[in-house]
């Protein structure tokens, strides 16, 4: 992922212990019944519009989905993973037929099952079952010199396994989907990429070998390790999960004690496919909460930081907030203020990266954890900024009301602030899919039936709740 190495940059003081609209530390319960009629209408249009990003921008022949649009782009394999699950939501909501979704899914899985796998630097889509972070939209081969990405492969597999569980009918197409899903997942050699056991490396380059960073700390890597533990062919040892949790940074930030990670996507991606409510590993049993509650606290802390606004950025408020990885105006310094282009922004005890850029996916990806603050935020952003922020595929990726320097703009308009011109697949996905988990728990319930997900969680030591 683009967030492999997040450089530390502090804007203002890290203000510990300021509570604003402090929530009760309660278990997360289904919240769809608490949504107002206006909320439901808003989510109806948001999900429909966001779904169209995946359906309309994909290469209909090989299933590859662009990293961004409308700017010309390579494909992001993580965006493909989100897209494969988006198709299932599309069927459930009546946007497309089951047959249409099955046909698109089958073409996608056939591509990944047959795409060249090689240690060579060119002419391949992946190696050892993993795939390169970005692929050429037309040829499906490695884009430039990007890494063989373990996390992006895991996110792709999340989508593939969701299709495996959903397409359960005894038809040739759906039977082939299930078979190809097992084939693609089973080919991944997780033990090969354990350059420094027990951890999994973040990736590999044919030119230089394994990336020197491993999946440690706390971030979006939970799904990766669940899949690596569950592998029916090349599983990692059970010692990886306690080693992984041992590296967690537990701290209190803005009155919220939780495992910290500054950009919110790290608290969201794994939760798209796995319902962590009510199930606990040894680490969370010791803390008395589950990972869903941890993500809720992280969301409240992110919002509280934005409300305190130590950087004095424009428009930050109780409804205009949300720091995560996203586009930005430009890598530049103006009037002693630093701004960035694409970067993992966030706020936690670990670090703060904040240049006044807000991404709707920060609130959107946390809807299932904290709808009472996330849905009002999304509605407020759409109402306040209108067509500058919301277009044919839902929310554009990001905006920065402070950045009003038209003469040095890199992308997007700067009248009354900077607004992105692109949608990003990896940010659209959590908005659509977590809205569905909030409203119906569809993806969560679907993945509870997947034997690979269940096996990985059990091997990681999870017990209780729906795993009983």
Q: Kindly list the domain boundaries of the chain, sorted by start residue.
A: 32-467
Q: Is 189 helix (H, G, I), strand (E, B) or coil?
A: coil
Q: What is the pLDDT of residue 25?
A: 41
Question: Rounded to an integer, what distance in angstroms lies between the CA atom of residue 207 and that of residue 262?
Answer: 31
The pLDDT of residue 34: 84
pLDDT tens digit string along 246-302? 999 999 999 999 999 999 999 999 999 999 999 999 999 999 999 999 999 999 999
pTM of the model: 0.93
Residue 453 to residues 37, 228, 240: CA-CA distances in angstroms? 35, 10, 16
Preceding peptide of 334 cis, ω within 30°: no
pLDDT attached to residue 17: 33
Q: What DSSP letter does each residue of 188-243 carry, written as one string?
A: --TTTT-TTTTSPBSEEETTTEE-S-BS-SSSTTHHHHHHHHH-SSSPPPTTHHHH
Q: According to the model, what pLDDT value does residue 126 have?
A: 98
Taking a C-beta distance cutoff of 8 angstroms, is the pair 350, 249 a contact?
A: yes
Q: What is the pLDDT of residue 407?
A: 57
For residue 100, what pLDDT is reported? 98
Structural class in CATH, domain 32-467: mainly alpha
Q: Tell me what pLDDT residue 468 has.
A: 84
List Cβ neighbours of 87 (8 Å cut-off, separation of 6 or more): 54, 55, 96, 101, 104, 105, 163
- Residue 287 has a pLDDT of 98
Q: Rounded to 5 degrees, what angle do the CA atoms 155, 174, 50 make? A: 45
pLDDT reported for residue 53? 98
pLDDT score of 192: 98
Which phi-psi region, left, alpha or beta, contains residue 25 (left: φ > 0; alpha: ψ -120 to 50)?
Answer: beta
Low-confidence ranges of the chain (pLDDT < 50): 1-29
Q: Count other C-beta atoms under 10 Å from residue 280's C-beta.
A: 20
């Amino acid at each position: 992922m683009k967030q492999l190495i997040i450089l530390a940059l502090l804007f203002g003081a890290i203000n510990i212990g300021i509570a604003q609209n402090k929530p009760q530390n309660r278990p997360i319960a289904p919240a769809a019944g608490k949504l107002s009629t206006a909320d439901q209408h808003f989510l109806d249009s948001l999900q429909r519009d966001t779904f169209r990003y995946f359906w309309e921008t994909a290469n209909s022949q090989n299933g590859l989905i662009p990293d961004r649009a409308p700017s010309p782009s390579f494909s992001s394999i993580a965006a493909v993973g989100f897209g494969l699950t988006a198709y299932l939501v599309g069927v459930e909501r009546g946007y497309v037929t089951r047959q249409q979704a099955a046909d698109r899914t089958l073409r996608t899985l056939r591509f990944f099952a047959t795409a060249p796998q090689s240690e060579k630097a060119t002419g391949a889509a992946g190696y050892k079952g993993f795939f390169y972070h970005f692929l050429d939209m037309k040829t499906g081969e490695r884009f430039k010199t990007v890494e063989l990405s373990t996390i992006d492969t895991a996110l792709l597999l999340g989508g593939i396994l969701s299709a495996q569980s959903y397409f359960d009918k005894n038809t040739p197409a759906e039977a082939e989907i299930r078979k190809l899903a097992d084939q693609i997942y089973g080919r991944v050699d997780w033990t090969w990429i354990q350059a420094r056991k027990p951890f999994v490396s973040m990736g590999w380059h044919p030119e230089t070998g394994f990336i020197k960073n491993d999946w440690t700390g706390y971030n979006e890597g939970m799904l990766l390790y669940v899949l690596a533990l569950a592998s029916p062919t090349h599983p990692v040892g059970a010692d990886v999960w306690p080693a992984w949790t041992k590296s967690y940074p537990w701290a209190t930030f803005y009155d919220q004690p939780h495992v910290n990670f500054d950009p919110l996507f790290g608290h969201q991606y794994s939760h798209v496919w796995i319902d962590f409510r009510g199930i606990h590993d040894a680490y969370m049993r010791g803390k008395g909460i589950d990972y869903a509650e941890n993500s809720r606290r992280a969301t409240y802390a992110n919002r509280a930081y934005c409300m305190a606004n130590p950087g004095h950025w424009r428009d930050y408020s109780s409804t205009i907030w949300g720091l995560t990885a996203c586009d930005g105006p430009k890598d530049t310094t103006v009037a002693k203020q630093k701004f960035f282009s694409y970067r993992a922004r966030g706020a936690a005890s670990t670090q703060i990266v904040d240049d006044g850029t807000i991404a709707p996916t920060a609130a959107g990806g946390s809807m299932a954890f904290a709808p009472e603050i996330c849905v009002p935020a999304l509605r407020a952003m759409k109402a306040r900024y209108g067509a500058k922020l919301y277009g044919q595929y839902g929310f554009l990726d990001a905006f920065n009301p402070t950045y009003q320097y038209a003469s040095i703009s890199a992308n997007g308009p700067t009248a009354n602030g900077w607004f992105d011109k692109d949608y990003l697949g990896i940010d659209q996905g959590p908005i659509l899919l977590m809205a569905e988990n909030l409203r119906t728990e569809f993806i969560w319930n679907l993945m509870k039936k997947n034997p690979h997900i269940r096996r990985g969680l059990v091997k990681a030591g999870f017990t209780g709740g729906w795993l009983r």
